Amino acid sequence: MIEQLDSVVTLAALVLIAILMIPLAMTVFRMVVGPGYADRFIALDMLTAIAVATAGLTAVATTRREFLDIAFGVALIGFLATCALAALLERRKGDKQ
């Protein structure tokens, strides 16, 4: 019974990883084509969220905890990058005024 549940959870995680490739492609497109810096920064934040979700689902599918450490590291770096980019945008806005 546990083996069947484990295989169902693994299959669900793999299906969700495949589904995450759709927003990944759309986000990369927005990051490349985005009309402004704000759009690109939001796309970068979305890419971080997709990477964290993919690492978490990979941890579930492979039952390896190392992927959770990777997800935590990516989330931390994404948070710091968002803070730095927000400060940069604020400084640019102050220069124009």
Structure tokens that stand for 25 in this block: 């492609």
pLDDT of 58 > 80? The answer is yes
Between CA 13 and CA 17 the distance in angstroms is 6
- For the entire predicted model, the pTM comes to 0.84
- The pLDDT value recorded for residue 3 is 77
- Its CATH architecture, for the domain 2-96, is Orthogonal Bundle (1.10)
- The pLDDT value recorded for residue 26 is 95
Once rounded to an integer, what is the mean pLDDT over residues 20-26? 96
> Pick the residue with more confidence: 91 or 51?
51
